[in-house]
Chain A
């Protein structure tokens, strides 16, 4: 009886692990889409609204998915509170604070960090160019992420169940 309960537990946890890994692929592409949306909103705010960075960040932060939005809200707070700090440092700190909560990869982080060096420090035209560039980069990554999701999401789920089954069989 105890053995049976144990087997069920093993099977359950293995399934959940597989499901979780699979889910992270789905999360990554969803959050990438949110990030793309956020950057496009930022472009609008900067190019058409001339909104100061900290106000634009707050607006965006409340409107996109919370995992991504948190980065923008934190960045805004950094900008307002740490006067005399460069924009880049504020942006980087915000990203580092909240990156762990996202399902995003190192590549996405690099694109965002790179953007930090130019954010707010040039005229509108230049800002638009850099934001467009970042959006293009992220779009490629998003496609990649979607392909990976398609390939691996199901695989990890089945792998979880099957791996659990294998362990159970070995145990008996």
Chain B
């Protein structure tokens, strides 16, 4: 069976029967490219596929008219929540605090509703009324384009990936982890540690990565980045540490700690381009101090995961020939 369809099947299996029956009669081409299924209480079912968004009618047709869409009711919301929590909401306390649940296959369900506060902190979400099911797709091989630039004399260079949201940062990180862990034509296999604060890179369920992140990869799931990096360096002796979305003050300290310990760091950050990243307070400081030796800028201009440019530690753009020459 097609791999893309398998992803969608995993999601369909956890949906309440009425939602499942509406979605399963969608045309195969649409099913294959679904990125998000959005369910909001008393609102029509919406799907996002490719670059478009559309409502779905009860007959499984796509429509732009919200009034013709199939309505997701309160009853469906209760059932869906029951199903994804296995009738045990109390077991998902941490997940409800963070606002999303990871399910089998590494897919991610974002939640919104009435938030319960305790001493100014979010304690959880009580009446969950909006679900955003993001179907996780592995894109193997996206790292191939950038891999030649990331090694120097057998060492993995400290790398920062910069891109706006939804441009494939996490996908690239995951593929890098896999390629480095398995070994590739540029370097032999390495021990990789992933600190996966948002469970996005490895998509862990009960601590087990649901994505292929390589045979020599250890994953610290749902752990704050700065703490997790220190833990991994101390306990797992990694050669490469991979984290996503750095940006807090304590992250920079941990990154320096790793670099000084001789561990290569590959991380990602939000930003439109290199110039903007330099302007961000904590990130800019890291860049000026020369923490990173490579910068990869992504965009969506040619579809998610387009590599806009690769820069060296002095922020000069690199070309493939130069790298070939320097190694």
Contact = CB atoms under 8 A, between A and B. Distances in A.
Interface in A74-99: 79, 83-87, 90
B90 interface: yes
B93 interface: yes
A84 B17 contact: yes
B83 A84 contact: yes
B248 interface: no
A123 B87 contact: no
B214 interface: no
Contact of A84 (B79, B89, B126): B79
A120 B87 contact: yes
Interface size class of B (residues with CB under 8 A): 10 to 19
B16 interface: yes
A53 interface: yes
B166 interface: no
Contact of B90 (A85, A86, A124): A124
Contacts of A47: 90
A52 B86 CA distance: 6
A140 interface: no
B82 interface: yes
A46 B93 CA distance: 12
Nearest to B86: A52
Contacts of B85: 120
A54 B87 CA distance: 8
Contacts of B17: 83-84
A54 B85 CA distance: 11
A109 interface: no
A121 interface: yes
A124 B87 contact: no
Contacts, number: 56
A120 B96 CA distance: 14
Contacts of B91: 50-52
A127 B91 CA distance: 11
B168 interface: no
Contact of B87 (A50, A52, A126): A52
B89 A122 contact: yes
A120 B93 CA distance: 12
Given A84-B16, A84-B83, A52 B88 contact: yes
Interface string B201-244: 00000000000000000000000000000000000000000000
Interface string B78-103: 11001101111111010010000000
B87 A46 contact: no
Contacts of A53: 86-88
Contacts of A123: 89-90, 93, 96, 123-124
Contacts of B93: 50, 123-124
B86 A86 contact: no
Contacts of A51: 88, 91
Contacts of B88: 46, 50-54, 120
Contacts of A127: 90
Interface of A: 46-47, 50-54, 79, 83-87, 90, 119-124, 126-127
30 contacts: A46-B88, A46-B90, A50-B88, A50-B91, A50-B93, A51-B88, A52-B88, A53-B87, A53-B88, A54-B86, A54-B88, A79-B87, A83-B17, A83-B83, A84-B17, A84-B82, A84-B83, A86-B78, A87-B82, A87-B87, A90-B87, A120-B85, A120-B87, A120-B88, A123-B90, A123-B93, A123-B96, A123-B123, A124-B93, A127-B90
Given A46-B90, A87-B87, 19 more contacts: A47-B90, A50-B90, A50-B93, A52-B91, A53-B86, A53-B87, A54-B86, A79-B87, A83-B83, A84-B82, A84-B83, A86-B79, A90-B87, A120-B87, A120-B90, A121-B89, A122-B90, A123-B123, A124-B93
Please name the 10 residue pairs, one residue from A and one from B, whose CB atoms are nearest each other, closest first.
A52-B88, A52-B86, A50-B91, A124-B90, A120-B87, A87-B87, A53-B88, A53-B87, A84-B16, A120-B88
